[in-house]
Chain A
Amino acid sequence: MKIEMPTKSTPIICQGITSSTGAVHIERALAYGSNIVSGISRDKSITRFMDIPVFANVKEAVHKTKPVVSVIFSSPSRVFADAEEAIKAHIPLIICTTTHVPYHDILRMRELAQKHHVYLIGPASPGIVVPEQVLAGNMPANLFPKGSIGIVSRSSSLTYESVQQLSENELGVSTCIGIGSGTLLGTSFVPIVESLLADSKTKAILVIGKTNSQFEMELAEFLKKKKPKKPIFVYLSGRSQKQVSSLPLLGYEAETGDVVSCKRKICETAGMIVIQRFDKIGEHIKNYLSRENQTQNK
């Protein structure tokens, strides 16, 4: 099963639409042109919000408005129940923006999503942006120029940073997906990259990873076998967090500078183009693509 990336007409439901964060981001999504068809609120007295029909449960909303993407803005204490509802209603793509979700809840959500064959992005995902088409999440979509670079990222701050650099270098974004910054995630890089590789509007892919998890290595494994034609750039953010004192037994190797360079090397051997410096992401991609164009023209 492949991830269907949303477009301008994709019907989207928002869970937690009347929460303070939900309301803010949905208003921005509507202004951006996203097709928000329904919302879910815990307050049963609300039936309409910003002119969107609001339901008490996902099942009813799915029956009446047929959304295929859900964006969740619930609080950490509610998020498991809300994700469960969306998963059991078989919404194929669920974007969970909630941060500070306990580990056990993440694992249970993930397990449930796999069982019901739906994609759960996040938690702590900033969402998806398809420039000039749709915003599903909480990204500053106005920063994103339209173009041909697909972005999949584990760091929202570096995503925005790279988007700015792309636009300074006259490049743009085809689709941008934030998969969440945690060490436990509903969906890893692989299925997203797979879907971007199949997308005709995406000519190159930028992967923004970190060094504190196995997701980047998993992607390297996948690309080694797949050998895609599209160039895949990767930036791995270096060490920032020190070892958490309560986690020495969890099989983490100490994150020294060497681990970072070792992981970068692994990405390189898998055919990815490793960008070493965060302030050179845009420049690097621009130079690579124009070199490639020249060789093709010759």
Chain B
Amino acid sequence: MDIHEYQNKRFFKEHKLPILNGNVAYTPKEAGEIAEQIGGKAWQIKVQIHDVNRSVGYFTDADMDEKSGVQTAFGIDEVVKRAEKMLGHPFLTPSMQKAQIVRRVYVEEVCQAKEKLNVSVRIDFARHAYVIAVEKKGKLKEFEIPHLKPSLLFWYKVLRYIDVSGLTEAKLMVVLRQMFSLFENYNAICVEFRPLVLTLKNNWVIEDGRIVFDNEAVNRFSDVVVLKETPEGNERQALAQKYNFRYTPFDGNIACLVNGSGLGGATVELLRVHNGRPACLLDVGTEPTGDSVARAFKLALSEPNVDGVFINIFGGLTRCDTIAQGLIDASREISGDIPLVVRMDGTNAHIGERLLFESRLPFVVIKKPEEAVKAIINAVGELS
């Protein structure tokens, strides 16, 4: 789970980590007021969206002179003017499918840096360990934390690599240890400062940074869970999350409904082998209920670019008749005339197949996965 920069900075501040003066603005007027409160001659105005690639994103409005998501303004008037051109305007980054309207900007003082570092602490999935990564002058070095507990000796090793002197080093040690305890206390996947800068007055301050929360852990922290929001254009994902199944969008026209992620990967691959194009993958988990199958099926049917649905289910403890009943109930609620191919096997598969057949609904039931895949591809192909 991602949160906005201003929310990240609130966390940093609450955990005694040094940040620059700044605040979030919802209107241009607010942006001006914040700049005034901060004081000084120059300010940064930053777009607040859930995307790490903000710095390479741009405003898609044609008439904008400055298109960047991070802009510098000199004078209060300029702050207001720039905020006006950012708030309410569509912003796009390379990792976004569709431009998003900017609703918030962060206004922050500008600081001059003597030194810049990128530092992060994160879970290393390959090593099964916590890792501190330091990037200094473009060179990256990683330090694996032994037994998940950084000792004093470990911290000195990191500091020796960063190589700053005396009091500055002592101050850095405080920041790094605080970063680690934030990471540990909030069960985060990653806490990173990009960059952490040394000011002219020899203080370390986080210019930009973020916390990546673990979706499975956020419910443990009331101050994090309230920050959850549905990104625009991602309502399906949110719906899937709510009903506890996984939704992966693709760019084709066949929706795939499966139980289990392994089977899902295999199904998508088999479809592609036969030149079928998946529109999305709905994974209801290995042991779904009839209800969750029905909800996922309805979601698949309501997708505008779907020309056909392929259902590939293997019944283990959840019996195929339960799943078939879920499918039947859902398709009685939503009428549609797109091709539906069902392949089911496992516990009570024959009963499930009979139920589907006797429902007189347009389900085509095929036992062999490969033939089923060919059938859905052909059916969809005939439509277009």
- By the criterion CB–CB under 8 Å, are B216 and A103 in contact? yes
Question: What 0/1 pattern do residues 142 to 164 of A give for CB contact below 8 A with B?
Answer: 11000000000111111011001
B95 contacts which chain A residues (CB < 8 A)?
245, 248
A104 to B148, CA, bound (A): 10
Interface size on B, residues (CB 8 A): 59
Among the stretches B66-74, B174-182, B256-264, B289-297, the one at the interface with A is B256-264
- A228 surroundings in chain B (CB, below 8 A): none
Q: Are A239 and B265 in contact (CB under 8 A)?
A: yes
Instruction: Chain A residues near B267: list those with CB within 8 A.
Output: 240
Residues in A neighbouring B317, C-beta threshold 8 A: 138, 140
Output the least CB separation between B258 and chain A (Å). Answer: 7
Which residue in chain A gives the minimum CB-CB distance to B1?
Answer: A246
Contacts of B123 in A (CB 8 A): 103-104, 107, 184, 250
| Residues A237 and B120 in contact, CB atoms below 8 Å apart | no
Q: In the bound complex, do residue A155 and residue B261 qualify as a contact, i.e. CB atoms below 8 Å apart?
A: yes
B residues 254-287 near A (Cβ < 8 Å) are 258-270, 272-273, 281, 283, 286-287
Stretch of B80-88, B185-193, B201-209, B352-360 on the interface side: B185-193
Contact B263 A161 (CB under 8 A): yes
Main secondary structure of the interface of B (DSSP, over half): mixed
Contact at B2–A245, with CB atoms within 8 Å? yes
**Chain A-chain B contacts (Cβ-Cβ < 8 Å), number:** 162
Q: Given known contacts A157-B259, A164-B346, A279-B370, is B189 in contact with A247 (CB within 8 Å)?
A: yes
Q: Which residues of A contact B52 (CB under 8 A)?
A: 248-249
Contact B216 A140 (CB under 8 A): no
In the assembled complex, A214 has its CB within 8 A of some CB on chain B: yes
B132 to chain A, nearest CB (A): 14
Q: A213 and B286: CB pair below 8 A?
A: no
Which A residues lie within 8 Å of B347 (CB)?
140, 142-143
**Contact of B125 with A183 in the complex, beta carbons under 8 Å:** yes
Query: A residues bordering B, Cβ < 8 Å?
Result: 76-77, 100-105, 107-108, 110-111, 126, 138-140, 142-143, 153-158, 160-161, 164, 181, 183-184, 208, 210-211, 213-214, 237-242, 245-252, 257, 260, 277-279
Q: List 23 A-B contacts (CB under 8 A).
A: A107-B123, A107-B129, A156-B286, A157-B258, A157-B263, A157-B264, A157-B286, A160-B314, A160-B316, A161-B263, A164-B346, A181-B261, A183-B125, A184-B123, A237-B266, A238-B266, A240-B281, A250-B122, A251-B125, A257-B272, A277-B273, A278-B369, A279-B369
Please report B residues at the A interface, Cβ cutoff 8 Å.
1-2, 50-52, 95, 120, 122-126, 128-130, 147-148, 184, 187, 189-190, 192, 212, 214, 216-217, 220, 246, 248-250, 258-270, 272-273, 281, 283, 286-287, 314, 316-317, 345-347, 368-370
